[in-house]
């Protein structure tokens, strides 16, 4: 389902060159829950960005469901992200000027759905994450855990096969973290979604099917 071949990523400035990923080869199967671990700055998030086609690798190829990101136009990449990948971020990244339901509807807007369909789907996923009672609230009126639930609902809105979560519980307390983790496990087990989760939490990582460990841009396990 996800295949990374000889992926390299180098960040260049006028003075220095930083190797973020070096010859990374990973295969992730459909329906797999993979945890990515490693110390800060080892390239975990860069890997996630490349899988999510938010960033391009300096070398190597990324293939998702048989589609290679190489040579894809910006508009093609945007459409691919919209239909295939859902993102969950550590700092939620909800749009502050939109209320909960509008935040969840946002990816559906780019999918070209009608207003009625969008509203129906957004209500459905918000119910699924237990946030249907906060649909008209603004993000600033929610707790961290609630924000992350909304972010998960947004990630699920377009019914993507793959969910990429970058430290989804990094900003939450232990109780909230456990609830969010359970939501992700449910998405994987009950709905068969492929999940790639970057985490620093060993206990959470152990709940995944597989752990990929990184050090200095290289896959060490």
Residues that bind another protein (CB under 8 A): 49, 52, 54-55, 74-75, 78-79, 81-83, 87, 89, 93-98, 102, 105-107, 109-111, 115, 154, 158
d(CA 54, CA 46): 9
214 by Cβ neighbours in 10 Å (0-12 / 13-18 / 19+) ranks as: buried
How far apart are CB 55 and another protein at their closest, in Å? Answer: 5
CB nearer to another protein: pick between 38 and 52: 52
How far apart are CB 154 and another protein at their closest, in Å? Answer: 7
CB nearer to another protein: pick between 14 and 175: 14
CB nearer to another protein: pick between 101 and 187: 101
Q: In what order do the strands lie in the sheet with 162-166?
A: 85-88, 162-166, 194-198, 33-37, 210-215, 218-219
190 by Cβ neighbours in 10 Å (0-12 / 13-18 / 19+) ranks as: exposed
How far apart are CB 56 and another protein at their closest, in Å? Answer: 10
d(CA 89, CA 172): 12
How far apart are CB 174 and another protein at their closest, in Å? Answer: 26
CB nearer to another protein: pick between 71 and 140: 140
């Amino acid at each position: 389902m996800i295949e990374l071949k000889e992926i390299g990523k180098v960040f260049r400035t006028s003075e220095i060159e930083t190797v973020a990923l070096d010859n990374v080869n990973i295969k992730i199967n459909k329906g797999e829950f993979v945890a990515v671990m490693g110390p800060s700055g080892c390239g975990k998030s860069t890997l996630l960005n490349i899988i999510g086609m938010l960033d391009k690798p300096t070398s190597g190829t990324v293939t998702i469901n048989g589609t290679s990101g190489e040579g894809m136009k910006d508009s093609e990449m945007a459409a691919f992200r919209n239909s295939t990948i859902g993102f969950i971020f550590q700092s939620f990244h909800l749009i502050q000027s939109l209320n909960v339901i509008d935040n969840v509807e946002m990816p559906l807007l780019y999918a070209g759905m009608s207003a009625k369909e969008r509203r129906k789907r957004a209500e459905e996923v918000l119910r699924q994450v237990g946030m249907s009672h906060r649909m008209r609230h603004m993000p600033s009126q929610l707790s961290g855990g609630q924000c992350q639930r909304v972010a998960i609902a947004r990630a699920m809105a377009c019914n993507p096969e793959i969910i990429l979560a970058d430290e989804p519980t990094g900003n939450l307390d232990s109780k909230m973290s456990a609830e969010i983790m359970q939501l992700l496990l449910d998405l994987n087990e009950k709905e068969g979604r492929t999940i790639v989760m970057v985490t620093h939490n060993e206990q959470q990582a152990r709940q995944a099917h597989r752990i990929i460990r990184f050090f200095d841009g290289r896959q060490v396990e």
